[in-house]
Amino acid sequence: MNKRGMYLIFLAVLLLGCFFQYLRMDGFLHLGALRNFAAVERAKQQPWAEADAIARDRYLIFYDPEDVASMFARHNVERLLAQQKKDYESHPLREAVEIPQETRGVIFATGRVGVAASLSAALSYAAAGGTVLFTQRLEAADNTAPFTAETREALGLASIGGAADTLGVRFPTDFLVGVQGKTFDNGIYETQANAVTLAPDAVVDMESAAGVPLLWHHTYGAGEVIAYNGAERDDKTNRGVLAAMLAHCGEDAVYPVVGVKLFFIDDFPAPTPEGDFSKIYEETGLSTAEFYRENWWPWMQENARRFNLKYTGLIIETYNDQVKGPFRPLGGRAARDNVIVYGRELLKMGGELGLHGYNHQSLAPAGYGQGELEYVPWASQADMTEAMQELARYVSELYPGYAFRTYVPPSNILSPEGYAAVREAFPDVRIFASLYDGLSPESYYQDYERRADGTYAIPRVSAGYAPDGPTQWAVYSLVNELGVFSHFVHPDEMFYEESRDKTWAQLQQGMEAFLGDMSAACPWLTPVTASESLPYFDDYFALDYRVKRTPAYLELHAWNHAGEVRFLLRSSRVLDHAEGCTAEPVAESVYLVRLAGEAARLYWRTEEDA
């Protein structure tokens, strides 16, 4: 063999060696830049110089200081008004208060209106063009008649009887955005309502499954009276109803919303279970790994395209139950490669990678219900931190240069020690996403908020492949309150005991029906990953604004925002055109207003324009 041939053989061996070494080091899996921006600290619009010339919308609240339910109702109203950047005054119901006609709305957060000293003044205010809300079921008080003939007339009541439990809810009108014509089954929305007969000109907006009116509005003089016929709920699912009631106070009602939809996939990417799961194998003929690769993941990718979704996947390193170091790294080349490949495919389709844990042991000491979940409590915060540091090493090796911004606690349980451990191991984490509401006493429940330490609580509201009635109602309630959809699933939910009576095909049908319904009802929500949602939430929390209403147009001034902010505008008038913003109809008499600058005008169509 000549020297040239030997050189070629040597070169070929060298190149093959480099190839296999690069392959062993996951080089091909790491091709392409990985990054994750979460730009929150941005230049914001300066305050409007003439802000003091236009007052915020102002409301009067009357409550019963001797009644716990009324105090809770008052708190809910005040919280929502503050969230919407509106002003309010709260007064005990026995206090007589003068009601200026420019008041945006008068709210009785009590059912004991028979002893309300300002009731007559409130009804006079309504007759002159104002809006009065009753947010509690009316009841007798102090052995007196609960209300006079004047009150009965204002409320649109022909007769009223005793209270009884009601189940279910349906919406004959568009009082809430996105729910007209929808019925949520008897398994949800239990309340106590009066048996009422309404006047012919009263309009029922919400009723029980049996047809008991739960919410109606009635024209009174030049104004309107809106009544909720139910008890104050101790969960968050009535916030959407309250937001809708406030949105009907006066003509051209405006309030800010976030306007986004998020979709989380917990335990993905993660080590794929080995072997066969009998239920899946019998239905599909696939092993678990094949099912994930050939069925579940292609279907999820198609759902993202079909329903305009962006996924945030939450990484698990291992499913061991270790809670004491040194923490073992995940073994096995196949499992590791799967995590890299699935993660890169998720990123390629515009998704985000977040964190779920070193393992699936919730970061909490004893006392958080671990026994019921067959979890092992952690002995110390130091152990939690060490485990999260192992996860940090693992993900930085798999996705070098990628900034992880989102953390979701396993089983939605997180202690203060666990929170601190995550922050120490992952200083880039800005989002903690657990649950918005629920019944488990151990779960970590959140409201949407920006915290003093620079992190954001962005909880999930709904879950599962075939959400039930209560879950679907919670979704639409939050859309009306905040303009947010936030859902999560697990890849292995079909293996759960809760799914034992459903086939995989049925779970698919349930998810497609749910997402299709949501997409049709709320196409105006912007799909974002968790990190991409931060600028929207940051602007929502920081925003301030003023509204000027004239017969010809509505003028909107906004500041303390860096990007586009959104508002829902409800008006019986027809929009002709807009300047400085965009406005699109999202429901009957409701527009989504998008404003990127400081000011906008929305002009109403006149008879001359028709």
Lowest mean pLDDT among 51-60, 77-86, 179-188: 179-188
Joined together, the tokens standing for residue 110 give 């009590």
The answer to whether position 36 is within a domain reads: no
Q: Are residues 212 and 310 in the same domain?
A: no
pTM reported for the whole predicted model: 0.92
Is there a single domain that holds both residue 237 and residue 309? Answer: no
Q: Are 239 and 353 part of one and the same domain?
A: no
Residues with Cβ within 8 Å of 405's Cβ and at least 6 positions away in sequence, in order, are: 36, 38, 352, 354, 428, 429, 430, 431, 530, 531, 534
What is the average pLDDT value for the chain, to the nearest integer? Answer: 90
More confident residue, 49 or 606: 606
Q: What is the pLDDT of residue 24?
A: 45
Residue 191 maps to which CATH number? Answer: 3.40.50.880
The percent of residues above 70 in pLDDT, for the chain, comes to 90
Q: How many CB atoms lie within 10 A of CB 576?
A: 14
What pLDDT score does 28 carry? 40
Predicted local distance difference test score (pLDDT) of residue 575 = 96
Last residue of a domain, one of 530, 547, 574: 530
582-587 and 590-595: which strand pairing? antiparallel
Q: For 4-52, what is each residue's pLDDT tens digit? A: 555 555 555 444 444 334 444 444 444 444 566 555 566 677 777 787 8
Shared domain for 241 and 287, answered yes or no, is no
Residue 274 located in a structural domain: yes
SS (H, E, C) 545-598: EEEEECCCEEEEEEECCCCCEEEEEECCCCEEEEECCEEEEEECCEEEEEECCC
Residue 590 has pLDDT above 60, yes or no: yes
Residue 200 is part of which domain span? Answer: 64-251
Based on the fold, state whether residues 246 and 389 are members of the same structural domain: no
DSSP annotation string for 249-295: SSSSEEEEE--EEEEEETT-S-PPPPS--HHHHHHH---HHHHIIII
pLDDT of residue 493: 85
Order the strands of the 213-220 sheet from edge to edge: 87-92, 58-63, 105-108, 131-134, 223-228, 213-220, 203-207, 169-170, 183-184
Confidence of residue 334 (pLDDT cuts 50, 70, 90): confident
Classify residue 38: in a domain, yes or no: no
CATH code (residue 386): 3.20.20.370
Q: How confident is the model at residue 419 (pLDDT cuts 50, 70, 90)?
A: very high
**Is the same domain home to 273 and 247?**
no
Task: Confirm whether 468 is domain-assigned.
Answer: yes
Q: Determine the length of the chain.
A: 610
Respond yes or no on whether the N-terminal peptide bond of residue 326 is cis (omega within 30° of 0). yes
Q: Do 286 and 222 lie in a common domain? A: no
Both tokens of residue 575? 């929009």
How do 203-207 and 213-220 pair as beta strands?
antiparallel
- 435-445 in b/e form (b: 16+ CB < 10 A) is bbbbeeebbbe
How confident is the model over 544-555, as pLDDT tens digits? 999 999 999 999
Q: Look up residue 88 and give its two tokens.
A: 């309010």
Residue 355 located in a structural domain: yes
User: Does the pLDDT at position 501 exceed 60?
Assistant: yes
CB 301 within 8 A of CB 363: no
pLDDT exceeds cutoff 80 at 297: yes
**Does residue 238 sit in the same domain as residue 334?**
no
> What pLDDT score does 560 carry?
95
pLDDT of 140 reads 61
Q: Are 220 and 352 found together in one domain?
A: no
Average pLDDT over residues 356-382: 93
515/430 same-domain check:
yes
Q: Which of 230, 251, 272 marks a domain boundary?
A: 251
Q: What is the pLDDT of residues 242-279, one digit of tens each?
A: 999 999 999 999 999 999 999 999 999 999 887 777 88
How many domains is the chain built from? 2
Query: What is the per-residue pLDDT for 300?
Result: 98
Task: Decide if 73 contacts 81 (C-beta within 8 A).
Answer: no
Residue 39: predicted pLDDT: 53
Residue 89 has pLDDT above 50, yes or no: yes
End residue of a domain, out of 530, 551, 581: 530
The answer as to whether 520 is a domain residue is yes
pLDDT score, position 268: 96
Whether 304 and 417 map to the same domain: the answer is: yes
- Does 44 fall in a domain? no
- 152 in any annotated domain: yes
pLDDT of 469 above 80: yes
Question: So what's the pLDDT on residue 585?
Answer: 96
Question: 209 Cβ partners below 8 Å, 6+ apart?
Answer: 166, 167, 168, 169, 170, 183, 185, 186
Indicate whether 276 and 379 sit together in one domain. yes
pLDDT of residue 42: 66
